[in-house]
Amino acid sequence: MARGLALMFSGARLRQARSQSAHGALSAAELGDRVGASKAQILAYESGRRVPDPPRIRRLAEALGVHPLQLANQNGFENWELADLRRANGLRASDLCEQLGLKLHSYRRLETQGLTAEGRYGLTPRLAAVLGVSMRALERHIGNVPAVRQRLDEVGGTVTALLERHLAPSRTDVPEAADEPVKEIAACYARPAATVVRILRQETRALRERRRRQAVEAAAAYYGPTAEQQQRARRRMENEDAQIGQLIASLPQRMDVFFRAQLSPESWETLCRLHLARSDERTLSLLSPLLAGNTALTPMVRPVPGTAAEHQGSLYDIARDGQHHYVNFKNWYEALYPWVEDSLRHSARLTTASNPPEQIWLRQCFAQSQTILFSFDGILCKLFADNVRSVSGQLAQVADSLHLRPESSSTADPVALLRSVVDCGSPDQIRYLDGVLTTYETNAARHAEPLPGAAQLLGALSRGPWRLAVVTDHASAAVQTFLAHLGPGRESVPQLGVFGRPTDPRLMKPHPHAVALATSRLGGDRARTLLIGESLADALAARAAGVQFIGVATHQRHARMLKEAGATNVVNTLATLLAAVSRLNESHE
């Protein structure tokens, strides 16, 4: 053990932590007094001449206000086994047994063989929490144990042969618990054959469906109408074949990981409900009491930012480890705990009855957003209303007087007309035409009426935590003029950032420039930014900038156009958005 600790403990890190202690720099003698050691011992630890035993590592970390792993030598960390990780955490095997409620021989079996007993639910999630690492990091260390690597090698050939036999073109059956290969696999994992066969059946059906798709692509690869289509089908066929091979090869390890982390039916149902809640605070508040004392879910959940949970532990959401576990093993849990899936479907029906699906995903979309951007014309107002063709005609005459010939003389969109001449004029000419258009836009903005629900939606959002801005191809002056007369006598309207037409019209939407600029200036994360727009250019700009998009389309043809551009979230009125935001605000009050 001393030699192993010598490789893992870092005297240099101890010296650094002592000089930068949260309690102020400590002398070697002062640190020794706090941990029951002499000054000479502390200096010997720091010089590498001696290595503290695990309990003293933990006492040193506590005295310095750091995690024990911060005193570890990180060189070779990826090659550590579970025992190495435990010792670097300053823990003896008996310490872990006490915290996990295990008998010593049960823990030793996990540490030396990577095996857990049937019915010992959620062991690795709890162990990861105690050792201060993610579940995936913990599994890497367990995977370094020689007995685990040997087991995976032994199981791999049996699993591959079994699946390939059942995936043969003439076979339609699935593995049975009485099959000898199934019994061999079950014995390797110390699990009943009835448990293992359910997982193998699930994998067999999923792989058989992939083989069917592969056969379809193979037919297209050989008999497609054109050489190009045959080539695309061949690539898809090869990709499907590679994925099938990867899934078969990885199955032994996936089963190994699953049996160590397997949750009880009750914990699995709670994790599913957390996944489905998706930041719906009202639902999370009902689920959070279920987490009290459920240590198996500790690393799989996290306090919701900005709630009392961060201090009182009252409100939780699913964490990355939990999401990873849910996605990877959902199908297996459905095979092992079918009654849980029935319970979730029943709850979903009740939830849908009181919450239309549209409202559920809208609330989720707003709840996950930090920054909300609005398009201007068509969302907040109709800038030129019925006068748009007249304005386009006048702007076309100005362009003609500048000897700028638009690509299309029939466009009814003044902004599109400006864009169409940008490459056939000098910078001065384009600036002049832009100034004329700005004058038209600003004059129109003085009289533009907000579209139904626009002022109310802005007011509702102002009462929430969101950063708000307008991103438009119209002039900033026009937007500011409109907003100036929107507030008095109406719903309370917040101060909005305004990101109007860029100096270079080529950077107008669908170019992502304005959306990216607004997100950057407001200090937001693109993954948590939402653009609300109504045009094809809005949808394309959002996709190019990597932000979420909600389209507003009053007609089916308009909605179809947005969806064809990749907009999956489309509503027909701002009132729908207002209802979702109002419901969210109510849940925070």
Question: Tens digits of per-residue pLDDT, 49-66?
Answer: 888 888 899 999 888 888
CA–CA distance from 404 to each of 128, 393, 428, 432, 548 (Å)?
A: 68, 14, 12, 12, 37
- Please check whether residue 334 is in contact with residue 294, taking contact to mean a CB–CB distance below 8 angstroms: no
pLDDT at 308 over 70: no
Half-sphere exposure of 219 (CA within 13 A, CB side): 5
Confidence at residue 153, expressed as pLDDT on a 0 to 100 scale: 94
Q: Please give the order of strands across the beta sheet that includes 529-533.
A: 497-499, 467-471, 371-374, 529-533, 548-552, 570-571
pLDDT at 382 over 70: yes
pLDDT at 165 over 90: yes
Average pLDDT of every residue of the chain:
85
Confidence at residue 376, expressed as pLDDT on a 0 to 100 scale: 94
Residue 187 neighbours by CB distance under 10 Å: 12
Give the angle subtended at the CA of 555 by the CAs of 549 and 561, to the nearest 5°. Answer: 50
Segment (H or E) for 24: none
**Confidence class of residue 205 from pLDDT cuts 50, 70 and 90?**
very high
Segment (H or E) for 133: none
Lowest mean pLDDT among 88-97, 302-311, 473-482: 302-311
Q: Where are the alpha helices (DSSP H) in 144-226?
A: 146-166, 180-189, 193-223
Confidence at residue 204, expressed as pLDDT on a 0 to 100 scale: 95
**Confidence class of residue 195 from pLDDT cuts 50, 70 and 90?**
very high
pLDDT tens digits, 122-145: 999 999 989 988 899 999 999 999
For residues 71-80, average pLDDT: 84
Side chain identity, residue 7 = L
Confidence at residue 245, expressed as pLDDT on a 0 to 100 scale: 93
Give the angle subtended at the CA of 206 by the CAs of 205 and 211, to the nearest 5°. Answer: 95
Residue 178 neighbours by CB distance under 10 Å: 9
Segment (H or E) for 270: helix 265-277
Side chain identity, residue 230 = Q
**Confidence class of residue 273 from pLDDT cuts 50, 70 and 90?**
confident
**Confidence class of residue 310 from pLDDT cuts 50, 70 and 90?**
very low
For residues 422-444, average pLDDT: 90
Confidence at residue 407, expressed as pLDDT on a 0 to 100 scale: 56
As given in the structure block, the two tokens for residue 321 are 């480890």
CA 260/CA 262 separation, integer angstroms: 6
First to last CA, the chain: 56
pLDDT tens digits, 484-527: 877 544 445 567 889 999 988 889 998 999 999 998 888 778 88
**Confidence class of residue 416 from pLDDT cuts 50, 70 and 90?**
confident
pLDDT at 288 over 80: no
- Please check whether residue 373 is in contact with residue 469, taking contact to mean a CB–CB distance below 8 angstroms: yes
Lowest mean pLDDT among 154-158, 166-170, 386-390, 392-396: 386-390
CA 351/CA 392 separation, integer angstroms: 50
Helix or strand or coil: residue 380?
coil
Burial class, 95, CB count within 10 angstroms (exposed 0-12 / middle 13-18 / buried 19+)? middle
- Please check whether residue 314 is in contact with residue 308, taking contact to mean a CB–CB distance below 8 angstroms: yes
- Please check whether residue 430 is in contact with residue 505, taking contact to mean a CB–CB distance below 8 angstroms: yes
CA 254/CA 459 separation, integer angstroms: 50
DSSP conformation letters of 462-490? HTTT-EEEEE-SS-HHHHHHHHHTTSTTS
**Confidence class of residue 154 from pLDDT cuts 50, 70 and 90?**
very high
Confidence at residue 353, expressed as pLDDT on a 0 to 100 scale: 52
pLDDT tens digits, 529-572: 999 999 988 998 998 888 989 999 888 888 888 887 777 788 88
pLDDT at 299 over 70: yes
pLDDT at 1 over 50: no
Q: Looking at per-residue confidence, does 272 or 360 come out higher? A: 272
Residue 355 neighbours by CB distance under 10 Å: 15
The DSSP code for 295 is G
Q: Rank 54-58, 289-293, 472-476 by mean pLDDT and report only the highest.
A: 472-476
Confidence at residue 263, expressed as pLDDT on a 0 to 100 scale: 93
DSSP conformation letters of 62-131? HHHTS-GGGGB--TTGGG--HHHHHHHTT--HHHHHHHHT--HHHHHHHHHH----TT-TTHHHHHHHHH
For residues 207-233, average pLDDT: 88
Between the CA atoms of 345, 346, 349 and 354, what dihedral angle is there, to the nearest 10 degrees? -130
- Please check whether residue 144 is in contact with residue 133, taking contact to mean a CB–CB distance below 8 angstroms: no
φ, ψ of residue 442 to 5 degrees: the values are -65, -40
CA–CA distance from 455 to each of 272, 275, 443, 487 (Å)?
A: 38, 34, 20, 8
The DSSP code for 16 is H
**Confidence class of residue 325 from pLDDT cuts 50, 70 and 90?**
very high
CA 318/CA 34 separation, integer angstroms: 39
Side chain identity, residue 214 = Q
pLDDT at 114 over 70: yes
Q: Which of 569, 554, 374, 359 is nearest to 457 (CA)?
A: 374
Helix or strand or coil: residue 374?
strand
- Determine what percent of the chain is predicted with pLDDT higher than 90: 38
Q: Which of 118, 195, 203, 194 is nearest to 159 (CA)?
A: 203
CA 564/CA 574 separation, integer angstroms: 21
Confidence at residue 462, expressed as pLDDT on a 0 to 100 scale: 86
